[in-house]
Amino acid sequence: MMKQLISGVLLACTVSLSMFVMPVQAKDLPDFTELAEKQGPTVVNISITSVVHGGGGMGFPGMPNDENLQELLRRFGIPGMPGMPGQEGGQDYKTQSLGSGFIISSDGFILTNAHVVSEADEVLVKLSDKREFKAKIIGADKRTDVALIKIEATGLPKVVIGDPTALKVGEWVAAIGSPFGLENTMTAGIVSAKGRALPQENYVPFIQTDVAINPGNSGGPLFNLRGEVVGVNSQIYSKSGGSMGLSFSIPIDVAIEISNQLKTTGRISRGWLGIGIQEVTKDLADSFGLKQTSGALIAGVEKNSPADKGGLEVGDIILKFDGKPIVTSADLPRVVASIKPGKVVAVEIVRKGASKTLQLGVGEMPNEQADAPASSKEPAKPEANKIGLTLRELTPQQKKKLNGKNGLLVAESVGAAAQAGIRRGDVILGLNNSETQSVELFNKQINAVAAGKTVAVLVLRGENTLYVPIKVSK
């Protein structure tokens, strides 16, 4: 009896709740049918043919290429495995892969990803009405993964460009593309995050969504519910090669700026400072005596670079650049890159605990990076200091490779230093805001630090410099 009563109450509650909940849910669900009808014709399928020289070995002539595998290998730069087609000693052969794109002007200009067309010998574009055109690659920018291609056609349907800055987390969005070659496929989801920084991707504040993006979607548009393009689908996080609910799109304003430069000049011009930066962690903030963890910490300044000429120094923390706040270190490359080379801007910094504003002329980013100074492998056998570093002086030849700067070679790293990630062969350039002068002085400074305090050690490894926070033990 009691069970029946409880069941009845639960059923009544369920029915009662459904009377209120269900209409609200139905009302709030978006309708993508109009978007699909109007915007579907603006999306194109892109087929890429590449000639691989020297195929053979244990290849499989005549076997169709796996588009999923092809795009994953292309996207992550993985070379062919031994015995696979593409090895030396055989005949040339052709490979094919697929991607997506969308029309941005009625006279045939199309946006897609750079990784879709970067290795192409022939690009074929298929429209939604089944017409096919050979496309010309106007230009591609690997740093942002944006490419502009052109077909000879007029009167084409084109997308409406939206404002990605107006997007809100939780907002509905939709993608149209050719996942696994299935043309004009629509998938939908929500915006999961904005301004997402990804490893090795310094110039794009990605839009993260849970829209199902798969190989073949690359280069396709991301739409808001108004039918406006807000992003270019570029990357997915996946352990299987398929969608796992983590996809990343290039904001359309970034892509349009790149495409405009490619269209007018055929090249990309970016602002450049010539510095190495890192995040201001709580440990680093404590070691510098700062209350906040915002900003970009300068870990290296290239000699004769715009930053060097403008007075920026290692240990400075940039809080604002050209009036724009630098909340995290990932903000700075994007802000600097967006500034026209030659412009003089105000840079707000913290140097040794004091605020300061510098006027700095922004340079133009070089096409290639300078060679890194080589580190020495010569051993040294002094005693380890308080944080576990065994150091030796650099030779004049080694200092020359560092543009004359002082540095101390790490001969051995144990204890707190090793736990923090410093290893043999690294070069110590500074301690907190001070440059290294000698092994004796460095060890004296370290030994004077009270147990439990955190110091910031500036380390050079290869071509990269980085502040490493180390907590001093007893």
Active-site amino acid positions: 115, 145, 218
The one-letter amino acid at 132: E
d(CA 422, CA 427): 9
> 405 — phi, psi (to 5°)?
-75, 155
Burial 381-409 (b: 16+ CB within 10 A, else e): eeebbbbbbbbbbbeeebeebbeebbbbb
Rg of the chain over Cα atoms, rounded to whole angstroms, equals: 28
> 259 — phi, psi (to 5°)?
-65, -35
Look at residues 315, 288, 457 and name the one whose alpha carbon lies nearest to residue 389: 457
Number of CB atoms found within 10 A of residue 213's CB: 31
Tokens 């040339």 correspond to: 92
Burial 170-184 (b: 16+ CB within 10 A, else e): eebbbbbbbbebebb
d(CA 59, CA 69): 15
Query: What does the CA dihedral 81, 86, 90, 95 come to, rounded to 10 degrees?
Result: 140
Look at residues 21, 17, 183, 37 and name the one whose alpha carbon lies nearest to residue 100: 183
Number of CB atoms found within 10 A of residue 351's CB: 17
Burial 4-15 (b: 16+ CB within 10 A, else e): eeeeeeeeeeee
